[in-house]
Structure 1
Amino acid sequence: MSEQAYQRLWDSSHVTLQELLDQELPLLEPVPDRERQSFHYRLSSLYLYYLGLLRRFDTLYDQMVHPQKRRLLRRLLDGVAGRVLELKDDLVRTDLSEYHCLDHVLQDLKLTPADLEVPIPKYFLLEQSTILKERGLMLAEILSRMGPVTSETSFPEMHRTTAIILLQRAERARQGRLRATFMREIRKEEERDRKIREEGWHRFSQDQAAIIIQKVWKGYLQRKRTQHDRWTEMEFIGMLPSAHQVNLRVMYQAGLGEDIGRLRQIEKEEEFQVAMVKTHDVLRETEGPDMKEKLKEQIRQWFIECHALTGRFPDYPDESLGGSSLIFADKTPEQVKMELEVQAQESKKKNQEKNKEKENEKKERKQKKEKGRKREADTMLKTWPSKFIPVINAGHEEYINMWKNQHESIHPTQSFDPEALRVEKRKELEEEIRIQVDELMRQELKNLHLAVDREEGKPLKPLKKKAGKKTGKKKKEKDLTPDRSVESLLEELVVFGFLRKSETVTLKDYIGDFLYLGSTLNLANKLPMPSLFDIRQNVALYGVLRLGSPDIHAMAPLIRSILLVGPSGMGKKMLVKAVCTETGANLFDLSPSNLQGKYPGKMGVQMIVHMVFKVARLLQPSVIWIGNAEKNFYKRVPKEEKEMDPKRIKKDLTKALRLLSPGDRVMLIGTTDQPQLAEMKGLCRTYERILFMPRPDYASRFVLWRQMIETQGVQVTQNLDISALAKVSDGYTPGHILQAIHSVLTERRVLQLSKQPLVASEFLGHLAKLEPMYREEEESLKDWYFKTPLGKRKVKFIKDQDVEEAKLAKERKKRK
């Protein structure tokens, strides 16, 4: 795409953005609980539109070259991504579930399930490529110091005579099979000769032979034409991938164009950085002295006016309140003086109000209990105020004021706008000079006080924040390793196996299809289970988007931990690796099995948890993974695991999690397939979001079979009935399906595909050897999930709905 095409895409994106901003205000108004469906529909449509905008802004930021436009696009991209996370949080509160059925919304908006896919911004990895390379080199260096780890697999020794006997046995078996096939062919020839002797040769005339040959040949040609027409029709309606759809040359050229665009971005960014320094220096030399003198004259004039009006010189505003910028906010000296006095009085009043607030708190608690029952009957739905809407609004206004009406002919080479750069740097220079002038004028004001008023001016105390005490307590943490460097801590964690090199797995590799009948199941009062597509989407929202950007993490709803619950083989570890790959995060392993025999004692546990969280903060983004997370919260520790002492990390883990604040891109991800063994309260307090992973549905199994076979380098033909495989494999996990495919598609079988096409029956024997996920196991996991806090609320909501429907039905009968 050309720069003009990207500009048109940007213009159309802001038209959509303006429409969405107009729809934001009505969502803040409370809505009765009876209008939950319409409220949910509005939230869902907004969520889908913002996802589309996120996809567009990601493309624009990745490919546009103009450095000043890219800075604005970055703010808009982060703002829209944060708004998507806020809407997801609102959807969870409205729907009382981590998964949402949006098929009817997609249908109404004329969108496809692909539009529901969460786009991962490309700059997550591109902008920290150098950091990732340095970390890789650091890990490689530490591992090289440790020495090569030789894992020599010892094979059982065999006597020479035994080995010869085995070889002879195999050779005799091979010769026996060859002899059997040879004898079978001889018997067939003898049978054919016998029939010819008994029945004789059937002789055709020349015309009869020609007709038979024509029939065979014409039938063959017609079957080929019919097959070609059928394939063409299926490609046209989109049921089969087109042969011309995947053109490697076109894809290579597209990727090459993207790489060239990124190189141009680097060149223009370097030019812009040089121009920023030069512009700042030029403005400081040419306009700096005039700005300084002008500011001094304005502040002196303000001193004189205040003295003329009040009879004394004013107090100079503190730097925390804005300094002299408070003076030049289009206000008269009297207004500035009144504001300063009011702020001083408010600080005194707040101390008096604190005592009254404590007395009123007790009364309010009693009133809240009485009002709680009334609120349950008349619950109001509304969204929380957004932190990202002001950022998006500011970016949208900047686009309208600066870039909307500018044609590409103004910047044909996509260089920076020097006039806009001067305006921006002039504001920065004014702020720098203002701070310097404030220091000088404060001293001058003190001298005026001493000379004229004969008194020392008392500086205005900055207002104390209420939240300062609470946040201060949370941030206080004893540093158990104050004298150690990050490199030494990192090396120790690598040596003991707590910091691991994550495998490269993208989120796209977690294959699964969309839940197409979610709304239909809801209407039939059947609770739909999430699909693999929904699981992948939630991991992208909760894990990848938050950890990928510090700006998004600092303002988005804070989520410190996730728990993935599902049977073995569902790809829980794969999702953990995918989060690390997509964000470039470090992978720390605090699983109970990895802790066994390391750092014994109470102090040892405190030390390892402290070290892991300290290094995770310093080298963020970081993922702390705990496999078999239920073992940390056992109800009863099994006898065989008492030596491991899996619960010893429990207290220190919860304390360390509480200390994580917005901006600390550290996430705890736990995986478990037996959550029933754990205490519910402790597990739910530690893990803020619980994602249930049931067995895959038919659509997901169909996609799994097809794509997993194709990844082995095998082209799926009509001889292979994928639909039958998806039906038969009900109850099997993706891990089972992959295991069956690996067992069938050996190197020898792949070489035979040209002569012997792949058939569905080949996989059945290998599937039968595997143990599927039984209904009882899945039902026990579902029962456990509905005992979690969110699950309980969902069950209660469904019961209340059933009661209301029953009442309405009775009233209708009475009316009749």
Structure 2
Amino acid sequence: MSSNFYFHKWKDTLRDLEELVEKDVFYQESKVHDQKLPQAVHRSSSFLGQYIMMYNQMIECCQQNLQVQKTAWLDSILNAVILRIIELKKHLEKLEGSRFQFLGYGLIEVHHTVYDIGMTKIPKRLTRPAHIQAKLEDIFAAVKEKRMMAQIEEEAAETAETEKPVEWWDAEANGETTSNKESSKKDNIPEALQMTRKYVALIMAHEKTRQVITWDKHRKLTREMWEKDLMGELKPKARPEIRKRSANLIHTVFRVYFKLKRERIERCKRDELLGLNLCDAPIFGVQQEQAEVMLKNRSKLYEKHEKKHLEHRNKLKDEYMKNKKAVVCEELRDQIREWFIEWFESVQFFYDIPKEGSVAIFKGEIPDPLDWLKENTALALKKEADKKKSPQDLKFQKLEAKKLAMLQKREEQMNMKAEALLLKKMMKNPTMHPGYTYPPSKYTGDIVKAIDYYHKSWDKFDVYETMDVKEKHVDKINLNDAIMQVQLEVLPEVDEEMRQELRKLKQALKNDYKTNEEEMPVNLTKRPKRKRVKKAPKSKFDDKVVDMIENLIEQGFILEYPKQKLEDFIGDPNFGGEDLRAQTLPASPFHFEIRQYWWERCRDVSCGFRRMLLVGPDCSGRTNLIYALASVNDAVLFELDPYNVQGALESAQFLKRLVKMVVTCARALQPSVIRIKHVEKLFYSKIPPEEAEMNLKIIRSYFVTKLFKTINKADNITVIATCTEPWLATASALLKQFPEVLLLPNSGYSLVVQVLKEWVYRNKVIPADLNVSNLARALQGYSFGYLQDALDKFMSADRIVKIATYGLSPMEVYDYFLEDTTQTTVEYDKYLSWYNEKTAQGIKEVKYLEDQREFNAAFEKYVTKKQKKKKAKSAPSSATPSFTGL
């Protein structure tokens, strides 16, 4: 789409966001109160859904934006909205006792559906340097080339051995002939591959035969017509009236045919909208691919505009530095001198220029003269009073002040605990329940400030709607940026000159105080120390690191994964989740809610060191989620598998070197994702006999404990452990290392329907009206990955020919699954029981539901008791006679 479209879309989105924030702030200030929990949840979920829709529209505008200077303002508003979304999610987590939110009813109130709030894109924060990315691609290409060359050499060696001439005496001595060798080589080919080749050859032979027969028939008929025409035996053409009547009949038949076809298409569209049936298979994924290509083209165009913008700004800066340097220096000196005059006229004193320079003066970080005088006088009086005290008294005074501060802090904590305990008791008591108040927010103010700052900065440009406001850059803003950069560059030189002037002024002031026989004030105040942010150690990307990366790729510890999106983790939302929670029943998330939760984990990759545990059955989609997380952040994927370090590789020396190489390369290539496979084997409560030979203790020591110790908090490295049988591990030790656990959902009916629909879309030979609904009912319970693999294997060459000839029934597909005895439906209750009994999140959810059930039972009891009292009061007493009128 054009830049004009997204220019106006951004203005409309910003207007809608302002209305939403205004309503949000009004609810916070008026302290809107809800008596029941579902009402409070619906209100908060409604706001959360609206903020998510605003986020989706804003991030689309940000990604399609071609105005380079506008990006910083758009990002500031977008980041403020993200913080508000996360805050609302945490509030709903407190209300419902679960990390997963079901927003159905809250969205219905604002006339939207759950599909409008799918969060699949994250704002890019961290990018790998271009030279490192290019070097990484070269390393992958070199390793691929090495593997291909090695494979070609192996095949050439095998061919040379098989094609080596064998003399008759050698053949007789060995009891083997060349034909036997060829037959033995043929026997080494798998049977499935042989059958596939056979069916492919059969299909090719059929097609070639059909073409030859068609061509031969056409040639024969043409020759017969030509001979009859020459001999005069060809029948004459029909009369014109007969041909006209035949044409009218053909027109009538075709009109009826196309009318029936249009009705069938309308009926199919209606059935697809109602979800009853599938008719014509659309071209799957074409629109998404086109959108991705357009987005890539826009990003390339943005990079081109950004490069021109930087060149133009640097050119302006150089010209301004050359022509106006002296003027800029003099203006800065005048501003600092005015600051000197302000201090002298106010308090007859000169404050020192800070170490960081006069930037602190212009930012307003220096205290006001009158405030400084008040604080300095108090400190001077305190210092005079302390002179009369002994060192022991001063020490005792400091200890007493420290004790008093600790007592006050402890008292505040006890009061907070008492208030929390009282509130908890009140929430359980139906007669004292306070209800639910819409909570104040920390981040709506940030959204308002970001929007106001945008209006102050860009409204004067947006009103004209010129092309430079929609694309490329505005020259006036570049000029202001160039002036600011020139001022920052000349400021150290100006500071040094002004410090010399300040020394002279201080000396003159000291002489004046001495002449007037007065004591010059001393600055006793101290500026608050700035918090030093711990920076992660800079990783060197040298030849040594390049060799490490190449070595890890060759050994399989760095993977070249397929690029995936969050949408590839297909699945519907749990539409009954809200109703189940309203009835205080456990509600499990489906794939849609997992995607919403995983969006936060994708965003956290660029926020420092993170670690989590993915639990689920085999082929439940764990690998898809990890690939999506790495793809969205363009991260490098490392994989540590205990089965890859068996035998001689289990030594402490090799594992220490391996972990060091992994952390060094992950830090050099960050953002990075480290996957630890089969993590339950490293925490076995009882080692099975078949794995007793593996030294799992030492592997656990290096793959988990020492790996985490060598990663810094500021490193953009995410560690994801995966396991399929968590009950085999010691839960306390496993969850201590991975406190955050995500249990993947079971494959239910809606998921199997989507898998089958996608399978029908991909294979056009399958009838579009295949009864997917009934087949999904029968196949629910099989794991997600197994369903996809089994359906792909079902489409063999033989079956493709049969389907094209005879069609396909759901029973044939179901029989194919029944014949496969290697796989059965997943025992998902086992995973749920482990999650609810062992993990902190599961225990919290179970306890919350129990508390809600107890409260509902107490409330019903209270209402019943109250109704009985009302009936007893309203019933006439048997002791008093009834009065009848005359």
Q: Calculate the TM-score normalised by the size of structure 1.
A: 0.78
Is 2:291 aligned against 1:232? no
Can you list the C-alpha shifts for 1:779-816, whole angstroms capped at 9, x where unaligned?
A: 12111111211111111111111111111222222223
State how far apart, in whole Å, the 2-side matches of 1:597 and 1:31 are.
66
Q: 1:65 touches 1:265 (CA, 8 Å); kept in 2? A: yes
Residue 135 of structure 1 deviates from its aligned partner by 1.6
Q: Give unmatched runs, 5+ long, in structure 1.
A: 175-217
Unaligned ranges ≥5, structure 2: 163-175, 188-193, 199-251, 384-393, 428-435, 512-519, 869-886
Letter in 2 for 1:686: Q
Change (3 A) 1:636 1:258: closer
C-alpha distance in 2 between matches for 1:229 and 1:353: 88
Q: CA deviation at 1:464?
A: 3.6
Q: Give distance in 2, aligned partners of 1:604 and 1:36.
A: 56
Q: CA deviation at 1:92?
A: 3.3
Residues 470-510 of structure 1 deviation map (CA, whole Å, 9 limit, x = unaligned): x86xx89999x999843233234334432222233333322
Q: 1:14 aligns to what? A: 14
Q: How far apart, CA to CA, are the structure 1 residues paired with 2:541 and 2:310?
A: 37
1:23-62 alignment runs, 5 A limit: 23-25=23-25, 36-62=37-63
Match for residue 553 of structure 2 among 489, 494, 499? 494
Of 759, 778, 792 in structure 1, the residue corresponding to residue 843 of structure 2 is 792
- The answer to whether structure 1 residue 804 and structure 2 residue 855 are counterparts is yes
**Change in CA separation of 1:518 and 1:254 when aligned onto 2, cut-off 3 Å:** closer
Q: 1:252 to 1:374 in 2, by over 3 A?
A: closer
Matches of 1:345 and 1:478, distance apart in 2: 48
User: For 1:269-299, what per-residue CA distance to the aligned partner results, in whole angstroms no more than 9, with x for missing partners?
Assistant: 2221111112222333444422322332333
Deviation, structure 1 residue 546: 2.9
Distance 1:316 1:125 in 2: 36
When residues 370 and 65 of structure 1 are mapped into structure 2, their CA distance, relative to the original with a 3 A threshold, is closer
Query: What is the Cα deviation at residue 722 of structure 1?
Result: 0.5
* TM-aligned CA distance change 1:138 to 1:336, over 3 Å: farther
Q: Deviations over 1:368-419 (max 9, x none)?
A: 6655532432578886965696377325531454147423236388342122
AA in 1 matched with 2:528: L
**Contact 2:280 2:768 survives alignment (8 Å):** no
Q: Given that residues 118 and 541 in structure 1 are in contact (C-alpha distance below 8 angstroms), is that contact kept between their aligned partners in structure 2? A: no
The equivalent residue for 1:203 is none
Provide the residue aligned with 2:239 in structure 1. Answer: none
Q: Does the 8 A contact of 1:82 with 1:388 survive in 2?
A: no
> Which of 546, 563, 570 lines up with 1:511 in the alignment?
570
* Aligned CA distance change for structure 1 residues 262 and 780 (closer, same or farther; 3 Å): closer
Q: Is the 1:587–1:625 Cα contact (8 Å) retained in structure 2?
A: yes
Local SS of the residue matching 1:630: helix
Q: Is it true that 1:418 corresponds to 2:475 in the alignment? A: yes
Q: Give, in whole Å, the separation in 2 of the partners of 1:464 and 1:344.
A: 21
* In 2: Cα distance, 1:748 partner to 1:278 partner: 69
Q: Which amino acid aligns with 2:482?
A: K
**1:675-686 equivalence runs, <5 A:** 675-686=726-737
Task: Judge which range, 238-247 or 42-51, deviates more.
Answer: 238-247
CA 1:478–1:619: 2 relative to 1, 3 Å: closer
State how far apart, in whole Å, the 2-side matches of 1:645 and 1:525 are: 46
Report the equivalent of 2:224: none
* Residues 289 and 341 (structure 1), Cα distance of their counterparts in 2 relative to 1, 3 Å cut: farther
The one-letter code matched in structure 2 to 1:139 is F
Counterpart in 2 of 1:636? 686
Partners of 2:90 and 2:120 in 1: CA distance: 18
**1:739 equivalent in structure 2:** 789
1:711 aligns with 2:762: yes
SS of 1:574's equivalent in the other structure is helix
* TM-superposition CA deviations, 1:289-328 (whole Å, max 9, x none): 2232233233334435534554443333342895332569
Aligned to 1:439: 496
- Cα offset for 1:767? 1.0
Give the whole-Å Cα distance in 2 for the aligned partners of 1:302 and 1:99: 55
- SS of the aligned residue for 2:570 comes to coil
C-alpha displacement at 1:235, in angstroms?
A: 1.2
For residue 567 of structure 1, report the CA deviation from its aligned partner: 0.9
For the pair 1:390 / 2:463, whether they are aligned, the reply is no
Give 2:421's match in structure 1, choosing from 350, 366, 373. 373
Amino acid at match of 1:270: K
Taking the aligned partners of 2:786 and 2:286, their CA distance within structure 1 comes to: 36
Relative distance call for 1:504 and 1:395 in structure 2 (3 A) is same
Structure 1 148/99 Cα, relative in aligned 2: closer, same or farther at 3 Å?
Answer: farther
Q: Which residue of 2 aligns with 1:184?
A: none
| 1:542 and 2:593 are equivalent in the alignment | no
- Where does 1:511-660 land on structure 2 (aligned, <5 Å)? 511-543=570-602, 545-547=603-605, 550=606, 553=607, 560-597=610-647, 600=650, 605-648=655-698, 650=700, 653-654=704-705, 656-657=707-708
The residue type equivalent to 2:57 in the other structure is R
Displacement of 1:660: 5.8
Counterpart contact for 1:279–1:422, Cα < 8 Å? yes
User: Are 1:567 and 1:694, in contact at CA under 8 Å, matched by a contact in 2?
Assistant: no
SS of corresponding position for 2:806: coil
Higher relative contact order (CA 8 A, sep 6+): 2
Q: Which has the larger radius of gyration?
A: 2
CA-to-aligned-CA distance 1:200-238 (integer Å, 9 cap, x gap): xxxxxxxxxxxxxxxxxx999999966752441341573
User: Mapping of 1:256-267 within 5 angstroms?
Assistant: 261-267=298-304
Summarize the alignment of residues 245-394 of structure 1 with structure 2, pairs less than 5 Å apart.
Answer: 261-307=298-344, 309-319=346-356, 323-325=360-362, 333-335=369-371, 356-360=404-408, 373-378=421-426, 386=442, 390=446, 393-394=449-450
C-alpha spacing 1:662/1:432, structure 2 compared with 1 (3 Å): farther
Matched position secondary structure for 1:786: helix
Aligned 1:188-199 pairs, distance under 5 A? none
- Report % sequence identity: 23
Q: Is the contact made by 1:317 and 1:460 (CA closer than 8 Å) also made in structure 2?
A: no
Shift of 1:523: 3.5
State the alpha-carbon separation in 2 of the partners of residues 98 and 618 from structure 1.
33
When residues 296 and 127 of structure 1 are mapped into structure 2, their CA distance, relative to the original with a 3 A threshold, is same
- The separation in 2 between residues aligned to 1:43 and 1:27, in whole angstroms, is 11
- With over 3 angstroms needed to count, the CA separation of the structure-2 counterparts of 1:766 and 1:229, relative to structure 1, is same
Amino acid at match of 1:21: V
Tell me if the contact between 1:80 and 1:392 (Cα under 8 Å) persists in the aligned partners: no
Name 1:181's counterpart in structure 2.
none
Q: 1:781 to 1:125 in 2, by over 3 A?
A: same
Structure 2 Cα separation of the partners of residues 504 and 326 of structure 1:
46
Flag the 1:801–1:85 CA change in 2: closer, same or farther, 3 A.
Answer: closer
CA contact (8 A) 1:324 1:434 kept: no
Equivalent residue, structure 2, for 1:762: 812
C-alpha change, 1:122 and 1:747, in structure 2 (3 Å) is farther
- Residue 530 of structure 1 contacts residue 694 of structure 1 at CA under 8 Å; is this kept in 2? yes
Instruction: State the match for 2:780 in structure 1.
Output: 730
What SS does the aligned partner of 1:584 have? coil
2:864 — aligned with what? 813
**Aligned mates of 2:333, 2:630 — CA distance in 1:** 54
For normalisation by structure 2, the TM-score amounts to: 0.73
Return the alpha-carbon distance in structure 2 between the equivalents of residues 478 and 398 of structure 1: 35
CA distance in 1, matches of 2:121, 2:260: 44
Report if aligned partners of 1:498, 1:588 keep a CA contact under 8 Å in 2.
yes
Q: Distance in 2 between matches of 1:665 and 1:71?
A: 23
For residues 614 and 746 of structure 1, the distance between their equivalents in structure 2, rounded to whole angstroms, comes to: 46
Change (3 A) 1:298 1:572: closer
**SS state at 2:804 partner:** coil
Q: Which amino acid aligns with 1:377?
A: K
Tell me: CA distance 1:651–1:93, structure 2 relative to 1, closer, same or farther (3 Å). farther
Q: Deviations over 1:113-144 (max 9, x none)?
A: 32121131486899988864442212333565
Pair 1:790–1:121, CA change in 2 (3 A): closer
- Do the aligned partners of 2:349 and 2:521 also contact (CA within 8 Å) in 1? no
User: SS state of the match for residue 319, structure 1?
Assistant: coil
Cα distance in 1 for residues equivalent to 2:501 and 2:126: 52
Q: C-alpha separation between the residues in 2 aligned to 1:18 and 1:318?
A: 42
Q: How many residues align?
A: 750
Larger mean Cα displacement after TM superposition, 3-12 or 291-300: 291-300
Contact 1:317 1:340 in 2 (8 A): no
Structure 2 letter corresponding to 1:316: I
